[in-house]
Structure 1
């Protein structure tokens, strides 16, 4: 490990330098505790509702309602957070979520009909705390214009993936080993405690922006065309997650080895984590827009091969490649928010992207489920192929919208942001930070 450097321009954009950022530890640990329950929510609902109704179909409906509700309401939470501050939104949010999840669990145990459970799933999903976007907003505020920002985006991507690996395992163990409702009860408790501790770390919170410097209300993040293009790209990524979950389960069941589903999905998730770690440890020579396009080309190509898998070893290898291709596209998309969206709307922008992944995943679960029921597991893999192909076409057609905004077009642009975005905005082919590739 090299010694720490003292200037931002010479800092190696590795994880060691990132974690030495003053004040980072204060929000990272409670932030992780508050977002771990997010990985437990869907599987806990599935297991509890399936136990009480005896139907995976009914359980899937309730879980899908939760995911769609979260996806639609997350941007509203982000907008309110930008305007009023993280603590002002997070504290009542975690209280509401804990109450809503507890109510859903009580209804399920009481034998309520599916329509009542689906109705109760709406507030449970709508109130999911957007801790991940809030952590990303804190990084963006601390590292504005810094070469460490892509490293922070990679770190957050790996953290998200880790929660999606650990959360379902923990929830499954609780639901099957203790009580069918234990997963949801634990999710509610962890959300409440972790969210309140995270909200108490006020020193690192971005300042709320109720108005722009001119005194007018700031524009919604969705009004910036670059974010709308990224939303389409993230819909495709969400479809990969959803399509893989359903199709892997169906494939292993058809092969007579349903227990292998966890192993295959673990290989897929491991590929995502490995690529995420690598992306954050590299000082890229090419700009983020080109990285996004190249990453998405690789993701689309890999996803297009999934339906050809004829054996579990082959499917495991292809799943690993797909996982390796997701991280570069996902991380780069989050990184581009700094140059596309003003500081007073970034939390909203991050929630749009997070919600886009959740919405794409929910829709893909439904479509892939119908295809696998009607035609077999291989047809479910057509969903990731079609979704990524459509998203790639959109990215290529609208890539000009992803050019960094010039200082005059960014509201409240800081000097650091002006310096960071000017080179690539002036030249479509400008390279990013011209430093050697280094690994910390």
Structure 2
């Protein structure tokens, strides 16, 4: 099954515009720049917690558990944040959220430096994770509101994937440099400051905020949760598997480099992995695809599972770098395809919530993988830790293949053609054809 996107106004196959055209979208830079600043903390939080707690307790295990509690908390509360943003507006959620997050991080830092008991660290870790501002999904929702029904929407999904990967290259490096070169708490202090400043600046951009769609309007019926859409639930499982790759790679690469007595190469190996993902995201956004996002998700996820299955057998830095690059290259296509499918599957009134479910799924998969890979690496070595990405992606792939029909937008009975709503006032309509 494939999807061909056509334009009703021209009757020709829609081609993927480039990043230059995307960035010339009126008003784009007003939310992109503060959004980029505000999403850096997302990539700094986990490593900042690990380095601080390890320095105060001397235990990577304790540090990993505290970081995992933060990740699970974020995964559980992020969709609620997205739901509130859809209902009341992004600014109404962001402003109190960044204040709570800054206060929670401050409390976590204070407790860690005071050698507080583990339960106290958990008590601070929960609100820290729950209040992480969901700026990435909010940026995606702004793109969707501005570009709905246009070919630029796919380019925006690819651009956001590249931006996410860039933050995961810059954020951990910045946090590590601050923690090791300045003070063990400096990484988390910078994370809280960036969250506060970036979040406030992003929230101030009211003109690009998606319109709040009130459920009380005539004929609208009760507000529907994004998770009630069957296709989104399938994507959540797929993104859990992607999160297992991120978490499994972080822990297992660290364990591998310690086993070979060269821990300094860990950053290089993870950088190669992240660079592969970023490169694939750039390419995915530049290509005018003839196949639809569903096919790209299935093919890309199959390739991801195959490449992840070889990680456990790597016995040299060079081989692990090559495999890490391949795994990274295979992440972007299903990631971008999944975010693109949200636009066709989920009503606009629940789109921010949908994006946060996917972001939360990655965070939850990462948190579970960090815990599982850490235990396996401690007991059986880094090779056992690399089994976690294999198992996570394999289980998610089976689910994806079995339920792929739920990822096709509902047909209207007219020969498989489905009319997708164009952006209001654009005078432009596009349709998706199921071959």
User: In which range does the TM-score fall when normalised by the shorter chain?
Assistant: over 0.9
Shift of 1:340: 0.4
Q: SS of the residue aligned with 1:36?
A: helix
RMSD: 1.8
> Cα distance, 1:217 vs. partner?
2.6
Deviation at 1:213, TM superposition (A): 5.1
**Structure 1 range deviating more: 125-134 or 379-388:** 379-388
Alpha-carbon contact 2:82-2:352 (below 8 Å) kept? yes
- Which of the numbers 270, 274, 279 marks the counterpart of 2:279? 274
Q: Which moved more, 1:211-220 or 1:14-23?
A: 211-220
Instruction: Give the drift of 1:407.
Output: 6.6
* Aligned counterpart, 2:323: 318
Distance 2:232 2:278 in 1: 25
Shift of 1:50: 1.1
- Separation of aligned partners in 1, 2:16 and 2:188: 42
Q: Could you say which structure has the greater relative contact order, defined with CA pairs below 8 angstroms and 6 or more residues apart?
A: 2
SS of 1:423's equivalent? strand
* Closer/same/farther in 2, CA of residues 215 and 416 from structure 1, 3 Å limit: closer
Q: Distance in 2 between matches of 1:181 and 1:210?
A: 43
Q: For the residues of structure 1 that align with 2:340 and 2:78, how far apart are their CA atoms?
A: 19
Residues of 1 paired with 2:15 and 2:371: CA distance? 46
Is 1:166 the equivalent of 2:170?
A: yes
Matches within 5 A, 1:169-184: 169-184=173-188
Alpha-carbon distance in structure 1 between the residues aligned to 2:40 and 2:246: 18
Do the aligned residues in 2 keep the contact of 1:339 with 1:405 (CA within 8 Å)?
Answer: no
Q: What does residue range 283-362 of structure 1 map to in structure 2 within 5 Å?
A: 283-362=288-367
Check conservation: 1:66, 1:126, Cα contact below 8 A.
yes
Q: Confirm whether residue 414 of structure 1 aligns to residue 421 of structure 2.
A: yes
Contact 1:221/1:345 (<8 A) preserved = yes
Unaligned runs of 5+ in 1: 1-6, 430-440
For structure 2, the 5+ residue unaligned runs are 1-8, 414-418
**What corresponds to 1:210 in structure 2?**
214
| Corresponding residue to 1:124 among 124, 128, 141 | 128
The count of aligned residue pairs is: 416
Deviations 1:336-364 (A, max 9, x none): 10000000000000000000000001101
The answer as to whether partners of 2:52 and 2:112 remain within 8 angstroms in 1 is yes
1:50–1:59 CA contact under 8 A, matched in 2: yes
Give every structure 1 segment of 4 or more consecutive aligned residues whose post-TM-superposition deviation is greater than 2 Å: 7-12, 405-408, 412-420
The answer to whether the Cα contact below 8 Å between 1:234 and 1:357 also exists between their aligned partners in 2 is yes
Find the aligned partners of 1:387 and 1:11 in 2 and give their Cα distance. 34
Conserved 8 A contact 1:98-1:188 = yes
The answer on 1:379 being equivalent to 2:401 is: no
TM-score normalised by the chain length of structure 2:
0.92
Q: 1:200 is matched with which residue: 191, 199, 204?
A: 204
Shift of residue 415, structure 1, vs aligned partner: 3.9
The aligned residue for residue 261 of structure 2 is 256
Q: Does 1:151 align with 2:149?
A: no
Instruction: Tell me by how many angstroms 1:387 deviates.
Output: 1.0
Matches of 1:262 and 1:170, distance apart in 2: 12
Counterpart Cα distance in 2 of 1:423 and 1:155: 22
What does residue 57 of structure 1 align with? 61
